[in-house]
Chains A and B, each alone.
Chain A
Amino acid sequence: MVKAIEVSRLSKTYDGVVAVDGISFEVETGEVFGFLGPNGAGKTTTIRMLTGLSRPTAGGARVLGYDIASEMVKAKKGFGVVPEQSNMWDELSGRDNLIFMGQLYGINSHERKTRVEELLKTFGLYERKDSKFAAYSRGMKRALTIAAALVHKPRLLFLDEPTVGLDVVAARALRAIIKRLKESGITVFLTTHYLEEADMLCDRIALLVKGKIVAIDTPISLKAMAEEKPALEISFKTPLNKASDELGRRLTGMAVVRVDDKILIYGGDADIVLHAILDYATENGTQVAAITSVKPSLEDAFVKLTGLSPQVMAVEKGGR
């Protein structure tokens, strides 16, 4: 079977700055593939290259078996794209937006009408089908943008940060839709900087940091990598601002990360860690409030594999 996406040494440089650095990966037909990384890691740049909105500086890729350099128009017939920005036409109604998309894809008028009604109902927009896109809520706009990408029944769907800016309820509804898309056999290529979202939805995940893929595997396998060395979560009675830096220096070879007023320590011998913590607390005139063994998560895998704090993901996008 033809791979949904095959990427080979793909690179993109903007004015001397490397946005994507020679990445290679494959996406199997029918899977939900997650591209996980902090803001600026190169996720959107990769999607733009794979969908024809940007030309690679080096390397190449095939999407649905078509070369992105020479057969992009053919490839476009088989994929849909949901950009990070809900960029439908404000002046058109929800229904007219979908009809226009159907026209661009050459769907005949009878099928177009049926398909548009079906999508409006699926995405809960039927009651507001005649309202202008500008009058839609953010969640409705997102839903219509996804519906627009599905008008021509694509085999592959690119979703760029689909839940950014959505409230909890809308984000949950959207994740349910993505699960349904997978069940219907559509391959989904999803970029996100939300670790739990990737964990929840993806069959496989590629971790992208500074334009490079640092790991590709299933969420379970990625978590297993972190499970080899359990994490300890420590909180002091008096929050200490420089605790993570100082403990990081003392606990060489271990990852020490501050999350709110807690310190997470990954890897290393528990006895060494406990002594270091108690010594540090005594030296700084405080006491340990709690020490907990943290259940391994994708976050742990992310920290271990990327060396980045999980807060980087939230902080750079403003959190949620």
Chain B
Amino acid sequence: MWYENLRSIYYIALKDMKTYYLKPPAISWGIIFPVAWILAFYLRNPRNFEELVPGLIAMTVLFSTTAMEVVVINFELRIGSLERLLLAPVSLSGVLLGKVLGGTIFGLMITAVITIASVLSLGLFNVNILYLLLILLPSLLVFSSLGALLCVLVKEVFEAQTLANLPRFLMVFLSGVFLPISSLPPVLKQIAYILPLTYTVDGIRQSFGGAGDIAIAIDIVVLVALIPVLILPATRLLARRFV
């Protein structure tokens, strides 16, 4: 049973890569949007740009994964093909995990390109690759799962994209992407610590040798713990659509 579920998760993710990776919403929100922000910040202040790199990589993780979840879940909810997946001998959680994996792989590809380009162009060779992977991999899963959770609440692609923008922009402004958390007012600082992107930005910053606000081990533990915290309600909400 578990083997059959794993096989289905793999094939669903593979099919999603083949089917949806070139869909306009995935390209515009998952690739063009983070790249445009990175270029805008680089052109504005190229001298201290490396300070912004951890935040911009984290933002790429956030946008690429959530944009792909919108496509892989809401396109299929709209045309009814998600139901076809549920008619196959795979559990509902298996279908959802396949969708999360599809978003994770897309996010990994985009984030890898942005990270490697940043390292090579800015000469950031002091990066701790192990730490970076230990932060990026759970982060990709966390934001894919967050995307899945938001996407199952609505049916249409545009509704999901709008809904996803609320936590996206909240996190971009409060999680230390552009401003250090230490500079935030106390109330906003408290909010920042409940946002998953805070732990991603902090962990990536430490991977690049910068100073963090939280021990990197805690960043990793929080991110790993958030994966089931987001996937379980997403599975429940998806199941409620088929009650």
Contact = CB atoms under 8 A, between A and B. Distances in A.
Interface of A: 51-55, 73-74, 76-77, 81, 83, 85, 87-92, 96, 100-101, 103-106, 148
A55 B18 contact: no
B166 interface: no
B238 to A, nearest CB: 12
A173 B165 CA distance: 48
Contact of B88 (A55, A91, A104): A104
B11 A52 contact: no
A233 B81 CA distance: 46
Given A89-B81, A106-B4, 10 more contacts: A53-B87, A83-B83, A83-B84, A92-B15, A96-B18, A100-B11, A100-B15, A101-B88, A104-B8, A104-B12
A88 B84 contact: yes
18 contacts: A53-B242, A54-B243, A73-B4, A74-B89, A83-B87, A87-B80, A87-B83, A89-B15, A89-B19, A89-B81, A90-B79, A91-B18, A91-B20, A100-B11, A103-B11, A104-B8, A104-B90, A106-B4
The majority secondary structure among interface residues of chain A is: loop
B84 A87 contact: yes
A101 to B, nearest CB: 7
A53 B86 contact: yes
B91 interface: yes
Interface residues of B, number: 24
Contacts of A106: 4, 7, 89
Contact of B86 (A52, A77, A103, A148): A52
Contacts of A104: 8, 11-12, 85, 88-90
Pairs A-B, 5 closest by C-beta atoms: A87-B80, A104-B88, A76-B89, A103-B11, A91-B19
B236 to A, nearest CB: 13
A76 B79 CA distance: 22
A54 B88 contact: no
Contacts of A83: 80, 83-84, 87
Contacts of A101: 88
Nearest to A57: B243
A289 B65 CA distance: 72
Nearest to A84: B80
Contacts, number: 63
Contacts of A88: 81, 84
A87 B81 contact: yes
Interface string B143-154: 000000000000
B1 interface: yes
A112 to B, nearest CB: 11
A54 B89 CA distance: 15
Given A53-B242, A104-B11, A77 B83 contact: no
Contacts of B84: 83, 87-88, 148
Nearest to A48: B242
A150 to B, nearest CB: 13
Contacts of A53: 83, 86-87, 242
Contacts of A81: 87
Given A73-B1, A104-B11, A104-B85, A55 B243 contact: yes
Given A83-B83, A89-B81, A92-B15, A105 B89 contact: yes
A74 B18 CA distance: 28
A101 B243 CA distance: 24
B91 A73 contact: yes
Nearest to B87: A81
Nearest to A90: B79
Contacts of B88: 76, 101, 104-105
A56 to B, nearest CB: 10
Interface string B226-243: 000000000000000011
A163 to B, nearest CB: 18
Interface-centre pick from B84, B86, B242 (highest chain A CB count, 10 A):
B84
Contacts of A54: 242-243
Interface in B76-129: 79-81, 83-91
Contacts of A74: 89
A98 B7 CA distance: 16
A111 to B, nearest CB: 15
Nearest to A96: B18
Interface in B1-33: 1, 4, 7-8, 11-12, 15, 18-20
A32 B51 CA distance: 69
Contact of A92 (B12, B18, B83): B18
Interface-centre pick from B11, B12, B81, B88 (highest chain A CB count, 10 A):
B88
Contacts of B91: 73
A90 to B, nearest CB: 7
Contacts of B20: 91
A74 B1 CA distance: 9
Interface-centre pick from A54, A87, A88 (highest chain B CB count, 10 A):
A87
Nearest to A101: B88
Contacts of B79: 87, 90
